[in-house]
Amino acid sequence: MKPLVTHARYAYSPINRRPDYAWPDKKRLAVYVGVNLEHFEFGQGLGARLAPSAEPDVLNYAWRDYGNRVGAWRLLELCDALRLPLAVLANTAIYDYCPELMAAHRARGDEVVGHGHTNSERQSDMNEEGELAMIKACMARIEQEEGVKPRGWLSPWIAESRATPDLLKAAGFDYTLNWCHDDQPLPFKTRHGEFWSVPYPQEINDIPAVIARQNSASEFADMIIGCFDEMAVQSAGQPLVMGIALHPYIVGQPHRLRELRRALQHIAADGRAWFTRPGAILDHVKSVVPG
């Protein structure tokens, strides 16, 4: 029979047959919180939807804008209170629209991960030349604003072309969050040498949970707690990574923020997690795993 078409980025590898190691302080479970800061063009159609609406879509545009104006600040207050580091998955359009928000994350020392220029476009719709130009422009803007080059990338809509990992490596990125295929960082093959994938969640993620599956605020919080409790047990066998993907226009709503606080307090009080950022996760793996 004809072999199936594959991406050829990585080989199959059972998680229980890999080198063992520990995270710092002998922790077995690394946890990071990824906050998606996104900005959209008005009247262009793309974006999560609270309810159906015609363009120009005032209802859904304004609902998403609540995240940058209110929800993100409430989320910062919560994470400050719990002393949690954050990864900021930022559209570079945020720098022009609400620079105060990026300045607040900069003051905390949070890692900025490239997230395209705007979530009003998809990389899968671009030709290779245009995609590379967009990636390089985002890297340059983040370096200009933050003083350091970003190392990680999450595509808007998790949309890739067949060349995206190659282009990210060529532009100087170290890792992608696009692929949710594993619970450990793993190397990717690209045209330009080794690249890395760091786990990013599509289950413990408020858009699929709340918008797609219509989970309630308490159900989403219970998902976070249940995932952590189970992965803490599983990590006795292998070191694992748990990401928590958040969008301020969703979890920044007061009724969801209250439940999110309950979940994050549970993890923080437990003590078994290494709270960190994805770049630090990658650095540690590369320092302890031979080859």
Spans of all domains in the chain: 20-41+53-288
What pLDDT, on a 0 to 100 scale, did the predictor assign at position 111?
98
Of 3, 7, 25, 61, the closest CA to residue 179 belongs to 7
Q: How many helices (H) and strands (E) does the chain have?
A: 11, 9
DSSP H or E stretch at residue 246: strand 240-246
**Alpha carbon of residue 140 to chain centroid:** 20
Residue 203: what residue type? E
Pairing of strands 87-90, 152-153: unpaired
DSSP H or E stretch at residue 273: strand 273-276
pLDDT by residue for the chain (291 residues), tens only, comes to 999 999 999 999 999 999 999 999 999 999 999 999 999 999 887 888 888 888 899 999 999 999 999 999 999 999 999 999 999 999 999 999 999 999 999 999 999 999 999 999 999 999 999 999 999 999 999 999 999 999 999 999 999 999 999 999 999 999 999 999 999 999 999 999 999 999 999 999 999 999 999 999 999 999 999 999 999 999 999 999 999 999 999 999 999 999 999 999 999 999 999 999 999 999 999 999 876
Alpha-carbon dihedral sign for residues 103, 180, 162, 157: negative
What pLDDT, on a 0 to 100 scale, did the predictor assign at position 51?
87
8: CB partners within 8 A, 6+ apart = 189
Selected from 3.20.20.370, 3.40.640.10, 2.40.160.40, 2.40.110.20, the CATH number assigned to the domain covering 20-41+53-288 reads 3.20.20.370
The token pair at 266 is: 């549970």
What pLDDT, on a 0 to 100 scale, did the predictor assign at position 291?
67
- The SS3 assignment for 188 reads strand
3-state SS of the chain: helix, strand, coil percent to 5?
45, 15, 40
What pLDDT, on a 0 to 100 scale, did the predictor assign at position 52?
86
CA–CA gap between residue 156 and residue 120 (Å, rounded): 8
